[in-house]
Amino acid sequence: MAASSQQISRSPGDSPWQVFLHSLIHMPWTWRIMLGYLAVMLFLPTAAMLTKASGIGLAEFWRIATSPIALSTYDVTFTTSLIAALIDGVFGVLVAWVLVRYDFPLKRFIDASIDLPFALPTAVAGLTLATVYSENGWIGSLFAPFGIKIAFTRLGVGIAMMFISLPFVVRTVQPVLMQMERETEEAAWSLGASALETFWRVLLPPLFPAILTGVALGFSRAVGEYGSTVIVSSNTPFKDLIAPILIFQRLEQYDYAGATVIGMVLLILSLLMLLVINFIQAWGKRYD
């Protein structure tokens, strides 16, 4: 269909502008729907934010972006997300490994349940995590005697981030693990490698790009997360206030410039993460 617009004969002297106009007029209707929808739903809102940001002025932008409260929310958001994603990285690989390599009762149920964080609305996740991990909740009460508070602290935010990022690691590692041939492992075994050596030297290297991709995907999801974290956090500035919630608070105070600047920082970070993820995936293809 895209080709049909090029087949219509054109006089050779057409300027590029005319060619562009011509292809625009003769665009197939699927393209019109796609581009029209993208324009209204995605490009317009993005453009509105970019113009708002560019209207702020570089000095003012920098001042807001590096204000103490903003810096503290980056610290809470990025460090907690990173730690949560790394813990998910370790346990996600373990879960994927167990699901691919071993047989045990309820395995299919457990496999299906990994997608729960995708399917469960984040507000529900936040609500139940806040209850379960509170001082008298089922899990929180186990830690309370040791003076460890989980809900309404940074720890709780981290747990919520682990909850929502877990499927990203498991679902990126699982298919790679399934495709891996067991012969290489068996060769390592029969050549006398220990279990640990086999894991580090034979299994991990080809899995590594998938693990990194999963952790990066989980990290970027955790950074942007709002629904579960806003409920499980006490939202105290300089303690467990995360950047998405700061945006929300700025908007509530009608501080559009403040909200836009923090929003831009998050947006730039997500775009950077997309680049990083694409790069990791391209790098991982060297094993194919």
Footprint (CB under 8 A) of other proteins, residues 25-54: 28-31, 33-34, 37-38, 41-42, 44-46, 48-49, 51-52
For other proteins, the closer of residues 11 and 61 by Cβ is 61
Q: Which is nearer to other proteins, 67 or 131 (CB)?
A: 131
Stretch that binds other proteins, among 7-15, 61-69, 114-122, 280-288 (CB under 8 A): 114-122
Let me know if 248 is exposed, middle or buried by CB neighbors in 10 A (0-12, 13-18, 19+). Answer: middle
Residues between 44 and 103 with contacts to other proteins, criterion CB under 8 A: 44-46, 48-49, 51-52, 91, 94-95, 97-98, 101-102
Please name the residues in contact with 116: beta carbons below 8 A apart, sequence gap of 6 or more. Answer: 167
Q: How far apart are the first and last CA of the chain?
A: 33
CB of 213 to other proteins, least distance (A): 9
Which of 230, 240, 241, 280 binds other proteins (CB under 8 A)? It is: 230
Q: Contacts with other proteins: how many residues (CB under 8 A)?
A: 95
Task: List, as one string, the DSSP characters of 116-175.
Answer: HHHHS-HHHHHHHHHHHTSTTSTTHHHHGGGT---TTSHHHHHHHHHHHHHHHHHHHHHH
Positions in 173-192 near other proteins (CB under 8 A) = 174-175, 186, 189-190
Report how far residue 8's alpha carbon sits from residue 22's, in angstroms, rounded to the nearest whole number.
Answer: 10
Q: How far is the CB of 83 from other proteins (least distance, A)?
A: 14
234-263: which residues touch other proteins (CB under 8 A)? 244-245, 247-248, 251, 256, 259-260, 263
CA-CA distance, 10 to 20, in Å (whole number)? 12
- Scan residues 148-167 and list those touching other proteins (CB under 8 A): 159, 162-163, 166-167
Residue with tokens 């998910």: 88
- Residue 193: closest CA among 208, 179, 203: 203
Q: Sort 88 into a burial class: Cβ within 10 Å, 0-12 / 13-18 / 19+.
A: buried
Q: How far is the CB of 103 from other proteins (least distance, A)?
A: 9
Tell me how far, at minimum, the Cβ of 68 lies from other proteins, in Å: 21
